[in-house]
Amino acid sequence: MKKIAIIGAGAWGSALAQAAALAGNEVMLFCWSEKIANQINKTHKNEEFLGEQMLSEKIIALYGYQQIKNADMVLMVVPAQATALVLQEIDDEALVNKPVILCAKGLEQDTLARQSEILMREKPLAIPMVLSGPSFAKDVAKGLPTAVTLAGNDIELTKMVASALAGASFRPYVRSDIIGVELAGSLKNVYALACGAVDGAKLGLSARSALIARSYAEMERLVIKMGGDKYTMSGLAGLGDLTLSCTSTQSRNYWFGQQLGMGNSVQEIKDSGAKLAEGVISAPVAQQLAKNYNIEVPLIDAVNDLLKNRVGIKQMVIDLMRRPLKEEGK
């Protein structure tokens, strides 16, 4: 498995292309515009997303999806809400019996579907895998040490894919829990909004720490109820990614939450030119999933109220603090 196709030339797609190339693979990076493909091939940079970071000359940027058939594996690195549309543009035969690694962290807005469920709906003969964990694109592109989780149903095949992607600075740990890894990657975005809002309102590091801990407990309840593995939650895809996303301004969701905590509305943040954070889309989806599975999720509910301007951040925290006392771990 040395020929790798990466669909999506944003920051994360370009960073994963870099990691795959540094691991010694032939990498095809599929771009949404011919202009971007030409720029990457000519300058070995993706300036719009990674600035002056040089990319490996082993990365060949392409426009159009015809060459996907020649790849041994495919990494889907497009926005979560675009996954279905992009898959529909790819020839069915190109993905038959081929590992397709889903790298977007989000739930489909209209159907509540996870990324692997979208893949099985659109390309049922593909082999789904999921890549998630604590990672920032710029760190990976620079070759800074990064560990992630790669989940697949066939553990031996998943190990083969992980071995192909692994390099001196990029280390995938293998799991068989696709459901847990996907849900953790999606839900942590919602909790990152809450933590960013707490910091934006200057409510203190103690409050943020408590919020992270309670977010972990809430996320674990929902993930287990939906069929995920408890041990996934204590690993890179669970606790690791939650901690990173809830503490750094490099996280778009955390930054967006900060703006909410400072009193700005979702529309005001968007009007300022900021890109919409995935957690804003995932929050109502997560809330509906919790209702479907009859799981109490006060933090997800609070984030939804905050996003809809039903309550300010300080009142949100007061309401959470006034909830009935309970035994920790329940």
Share of the chain above pLDDT 90, in %: 90
**CA distance between the termini of the chain:** 44
Predicted local confidence at residue 179, as pLDDT? 98
Catalytic residue (one of 69, 188, 225, 326): 188
Residue 78: band (very low, low, confident or very high) from pLDDT cuts 50, 70, 90: very high
In which band, very low, low, confident or very high, does the pLDDT at 315 lie, cut at 50, 70 and 90? confident
Q: Tell whether the model's pLDDT for residue 330 goes beyond 80.
A: no
| Cα gap 128→125, rounded to integer Å | 9
Q: What is the pLDDT of residues 202-227, one digit of tens each?
A: 999 999 999 999 999 999 999 999 99
Amino acid letter, 281 = I
- Residue-wise pLDDT tens digits, 9-67: 999 999 999 999 999 999 999 999 999 999 999 999 999 899 999 999 999 999 999 99
8-state DSSP, 272: T
Confidence of residue 321 (pLDDT cuts 50, 70, 90): confident
Residue that has been written with the tokens 């190990």 in this structure: 159
Helix (H, G, I), strand (E, B) or coil at 165: helix
3-176 folds as Rossmann fold (3.40.50)
Q: What is the pTM of this model?
A: 0.94
106, 284 Cβ separation under 8 angstroms: no
Q: What confidence score (pLDDT) does residue 106 get?
A: 93
Judging by beta carbons within 10 Å of its beta carbon (0-12, 13-18, 19+), is residue 100 exposed, middle or buried? Answer: buried
Active-site residue flag, 98: no
CA–CA distance, 161 with 2 (Å, rounded to integer):
9
pLDDT-derived band of residue 95, with 50, 70 and 90 as boundaries? very high
| Residue 223 structure tokens | 């993930």
Q: Token pair of 113, please? A: 């579907």
How far is residue 167 from each of residues 71, 130, 150, 155, 161, measured CA to CA in Å? Answer: 19, 18, 14, 20, 12
pLDDT value for 328: 79
User: Which architecture characterizes domain 186-321 according to CATH?
Assistant: Orthogonal Bundle (1.10)
> Residue 74 has what pLDDT?
98
Q: Where in the chain is the domain with CATH 1.10.1040.10?
A: 186-321
Q: DSSP for 192-221, please give it.
A: HHHHHHHHHTT--HHHHHHHHHHHHHHHHH
Rounded to the nearest 10 degrees, how much is the dihedral formed by the CA atoms of 284, 285, 287, 291? Answer: 140
- CATH 3.40.50.720 intervals, the chain: 3-176
The model's pLDDT over 174-197, given as tens digits with 9 standing for 90+, comes to 999 999 999 999 999 999 999 999
The pLDDT of residue 262 is 94
Contact 14, 55 (CB under 8 A): yes
SS3 of 56-117: the string is CCCEEEEECCHHHHHCCEEEECCCHHHHHHHHHCCCHHHHCCCEEEECCCCCCCCCCCCHHH
